[in-house]
Amino acid sequence: MSFPLFHRPGAIVFLDDDPGYLEMLAMVLPRQWHIKLYLRPQACINQLQQEPPLWEADAWAQQEIIDNWRAGAPLIPQILQYWAAQDQRYDLSQVCVFDYAMPGMDGLQALSELTDWPGGRILLTGQADEHVAVSAFNRGLIDQFIAKQTPDISQHLISVVQRMLDRPQLRHSQIWRTALTQPQHALLQVPSVARQLTSVASDQWIEHVVIGQPFGILGMNAEGLVSWLQLEPASGLAELAELAESQGMDATSAADIRNGRQLVDLELQQALQRPGPPRMAPAFSIGHEGSMLAAMFPLELPASERPWTGYAKWLKKNGPRKVQD
């Protein structure tokens, strides 16, 4: 496995001609999911066909962050500004789940209309339709199919959709790959490192970005609180300790850094362009190889610099789930 350099929540679209089934989904699907429920294929298709230009604009907004960084602008303030200004990013659909057996237009026909839409595609089938689904999967028309007669279908559907939501978003990951050095990227590809970072990210955040200057992960939880997971290769501890001493930290603190017991947020403060008393945080090893350490630092931002509402409030603002005619 590899740790995704970029992750955020998005919408999941369901299309089924059975209103009772859609209403059941509205009740049982995880409350932290942003879901859209459609009865009519054309209404669903029309909505998804409007999204590719929005995906493109979002990718360009992130590419502009990278371009500005190459021109000398620090990354972290730009990412915070992007999160504050672009809350419509949560409305972009990442997965669609279409029923195959619908009158007038079946699920595969509906999916064939989505030529430029970049999300994951799941087909719901009846027992008699599985050969159609297998053929569609083999031809690359769908990413997954699920038989409606599967035992405990709701939990199985949730599991499959969650795996697709967790997949790296390829284009955005490619954009943020350029903000890392080759050795940094190689560290993140170590399987034990990727597994542990994935666990930390799922516990702490609903959205994150990995950057290389400074090296770490900027993440935001559902309430809009931001934190920084500083990553430090073991080979860089001596240099970090020297930096700490040059900034007036005492010998005991420098020794704790050098020995991998604590990390200091000096590079984070430089990136935020907000000098202040350096903060220390307990370090912990990432992965089994002992090649990297990490420490978590909450970002203590003034209220005037935290204009985002957070994903949870954004979901609430969108109102209760309802089936679209």
pLDDT of residue 205: 97
* Contact yes or no for 198/3 (Cβ under 8 A): yes
Question: Counting every residue, how long is the chain?
Answer: 325
**Measured distance CA(69)–CA(117) in Å, rounded:** 29
* Contact yes or no for 257/263 (Cβ under 8 A): yes
Bridging pattern class, strands 93-99 and 120-125: parallel
Nearest to 38 by CA among 8, 23, 16, 60: 16
Residue 304, pLDDT > 80, answer no
* Contact yes or no for 221/204 (Cβ under 8 A): yes
* Contact yes or no for 13/297 (Cβ under 8 A): no
* Contact yes or no for 269/325 (Cβ under 8 A): no
* Contact yes or no for 222/206 (Cβ under 8 A): yes
User: Residues 143-160: what's their mean pLDDT?
Assistant: 90
Per-residue confidence band for 150, with pLDDT thresholds at 50, 70 and 90: confident
**Measured distance CA(13)–CA(22) in Å, rounded:** 11
Question: What is the sign, positive or negative, of the torsion defined by CA atoms of 293, 295, 301, 305?
Answer: positive
Burial zone of 183 (CB within 10 Å; 0-12 exposed, 13-18 middle, 19+ buried) = exposed
Cβ count within 10 A of residue 37: 21
User: Residues 66-90: what's their mean pLDDT?
Assistant: 94
Tell me the pLDDT tens digit for each residue of 17-72: 999 999 999 999 999 999 999 999 999 999 999 999 999 999 999 999 999 999 99
Residue 175, pLDDT > 70, answer yes
Query: Cα–chain-centroid distance for residue 4?
Result: 8
C-alpha dist (Å) from residue 264 to 83, 96, 257, 296, 300: 25, 43, 7, 10, 15
Residue 1, pLDDT > 70, answer no
Kind plus residue range of the DSSP H or E element containing 204: helix 191-204
Question: What is the sign, positive or negative, of the torsion defined by CA atoms of 103, 109, 115, 119?
Answer: positive
Please list, in sequence order, all residues whose beta carbon lies within 8 angstroms of the beta carbon of residue 20, skipping any fewer than 6 positions away.
Answer: none
pLDDT of residue 133: 82
Tell me the pLDDT tens digit for each residue of 241-270: 998 888 888 999 999 999 999 999 999 998
Name the percent of the chain lying above pLDDT 70. Answer: 97
| Amino acid letter, 156 | H
Query: Cα–chain-centroid distance for residue 244?
Result: 33
DSSP structure string for 102-138 = -SSS-HHHHHHT-SS--SEEEEEE-GGGHHHHHHHHH
Helix (H, G, I), strand (E, B) or coil at 314: helix
pLDDT of residue 2: 78
Tell me the pLDDT tens digit for each residue of 185-226: 999 999 999 999 999 999 999 999 999 999 999 999 999 999
**Measured distance CA(259)–CA(253) in Å, rounded:** 10
Give me 2's structure tokens.
Answer: 């590899």
Per-residue confidence band for 128, with pLDDT thresholds at 50, 70 and 90: low
Helix (H, G, I), strand (E, B) or coil at 291: coil
Bridging pattern class, strands 6-7 and 262-264: unpaired
* Contact yes or no for 295/230 (Cβ under 8 A): yes
Please list, in sequence order, all residues whose beta carbon lies within 8 angstroms of the beta carbon of residue 64, skipping any fewer than 6 positions away.
Answer: none
